[in-house]
Amino acid sequence: MNTTRLGSNGPKVSRLGLGCMGMRDGYGSPNEVDGLATIHRALDLGVNFIDTADIYGPHTNELLVGRAIRDRRSQVVLATKFGFVPDAGTSSNGLKIDGRPEYVIRACDASLRRLGVESIDLYYLHRVDPDVPVEETVGAMAQLVQAGKVRYLGLSEVGPLTLRRAHAVHPITALQSEYSLWTRDPEDSGTREVCHELGIALVAFSPLGRGFLTGAIRTPADFEKDDMRREQPRFQGDNFNRNLQLVDALKAFARARGCTPAQLALAWVLSRGDHVIPIPGTRHIRNLEDNLGALSVTLTPAELSSLEAIFPVDAISGARYREAMLALSAR
C-alpha cells in the first residue's frame, strides 16, 4: 500500500482512506454486515485511514467502526468529527452546530465511548459554529490533545482565513473538504494552496462525486427513497441530465485509458499533490477493491489536460448542497 504523511507532523496513512458514512447513513438502507466486512477487507489490503463522525446515524456509525476495529486498533489511524448536533429545528436553517468549549469536551468523551478507544487519532471540527470564534473551539480541542484523548486536530469545510486563524492557536494536521472533478472548491478558494503552505493535509471527501463519477448512477430512480442525494440540486431535474453527459464523457475517457471511471476520477484527485488524500466511501468490497486500483493509474500532464477539458468545472450544473448546508461551509 502506498502511504503518505498526514500533514507535516502527522502519522503515515494509506494513500487512499475509507469513508464510512454511507455504511450507516445518507445513501439508503444500511447493511451492517457489509459495512463490517468492507472495513475488515480495507485493513487487510493496507488501508489504515478510517473516517467517521458522531452525526452519522447519528452515533451508530461510530459504534459500527468501533466494532470493526476492536481487535485491530493498532492498524488504524482513526478519524472522527464533532459539531453537528442531532437536534434539527433548533436553528433557523434546520441545522445546529455547537462549537462551545464545554461541548467539545462532552462530544469527544461520547465518541471515545462509542468507538471503544482510549484516544482518537484525528479529531475534526465538522463545521465552524457561527456563534463561537474558531479560536475558542480549537483552544478546547487543544486541551483534548494535552489530556491524551486526541492526537491530532482537523477542521472540515473551512476557508483559508479560518484555517489560518485556527492553525495559529494549535497546529491543524488535516482539513477535510469535498474535492473531486466536479467539486473544485478547495482550488477556487485557495484552500488547497494554503494547506500546502502550512503543511496541512487536504483530506478529500466524496472524491467520486457521491458515487456519480463511477458511472453506475443513470437516473434519480436509482436512489432509494431516503437517499440524501435526492435532495441535492446536482441530482435533480435538468441538472442531473446535464451532469450525466459529463460522466458519459468520463466513462469514454476511462475506457480509452484502460481503467474504470472511478479509478480515473480518483487518479485525478491523487494527482493534486501528495498532501491530498482521498477517502472514497463504499459499503461494498468490490467497490473498495476497484477504488484501490486508482493507485496504479498515473496520469500524464497531457492526460490531465484532456480530462479537465472534457470535465470543465464551469459545465457542472447545480449546487453540491442545499442552501442551508452551503451556508455552513467554507467560512
Find the CATH number of the domain harbouring 305: 3.20.20.100
Q: Name the burial class of residue 217, with classes exposed (0-12), middle (13-18) and buried (19+) by CB atoms within 10 angstroms of its CB.
A: buried
Among 48, 59, 96, 49, CA closest to 81 = 59
| Residue 289 falls inside a structural domain | yes
Q: CA-to-CA distance for 244 and 239, rounded, in angstroms? A: 8
Question: Reduced to 3 states, what is the DSSP secondary structure of residue 103?
Answer: helix
Q: Which residues contact 246 (CB under 8 A, 6 or more apart)?
A: 182, 310, 311, 315, 316
Cell 487519532 locates to 121
Q: CA-to-CA distance for 210 and 229, rounded, in angstroms? A: 8
Q: Which residues contact 77 (CB under 8 A, 6 or more apart)?
A: 6, 11, 13, 48, 49, 50, 121, 122
CA 227 to chain CA centroid, nearest Å: 17
What's the pLDDT at 251?
96
Domain that holds residue 91: 3-326
Q: CA-to-CA distance for 319 and 323, rounded, in angstroms? A: 8
CA distances (Å), 32 to each of 63, 74, 124, 182, 205, in order? 11, 22, 24, 30, 21
What's the pLDDT at 284?
92
Q: CA-to-CA distance for 189 and 192, rounded, in angstroms? A: 8
Q: Name the burial class of residue 164, with classes exposed (0-12), middle (13-18) and buried (19+) by CB atoms within 10 angstroms of its CB.
A: middle
C-alpha cell at 202: 487536504
What's the pLDDT at 213?
95
Q: CA-to-CA distance for 309 and 303, rounded, in angstroms? A: 10
What's the pLDDT at 90?
45
| Residue 240 falls inside a structural domain | yes
CA 27 to chain CA centroid, nearest Å: 15
Q: CA-to-CA distance for 224 and 305, rounded, in angstroms? A: 36
Evaluate the omega torsion of the peptide bond into residue 101 and state whether it is cis, within 30 degrees of 0. Answer: no
Q: CA-to-CA distance for 77 and 140, rounded, in angstroms? A: 22
Going residue by residue through the chain, which has 331 residues, state the pLDDT in tens, using 9 for 90 and above: 899 999 999 999 999 999 999 886 666 667 788 899 999 999 999 999 999 999 998 899 999 999 999 999 999 999 999 999 976 544 434 578 999 999 999 999 999 999 999 999 999 999 999 999 999 999 999 999 999 999 999 999 999 999 999 999 999 999 999 999 999 999 989 999 999 999 999 999 999 999 999 999 899 888 888 788 888 889 889 999 999 999 999 999 999 999 999 999 999 999 999 999 999 999 899 999 999 999 999 999 999 999 999 889 889 988 888 877 777 776 6
Quote the pTM value: 0.92
State the total domains in the chain.
1
| Residue 331 falls inside a structural domain | no
Phi–psi pair at 102, nearest 5 degrees: -65, -30
Q: CA-to-CA distance for 314 and 317, rounded, in angstroms? A: 8
The catalytic residue positions are 56
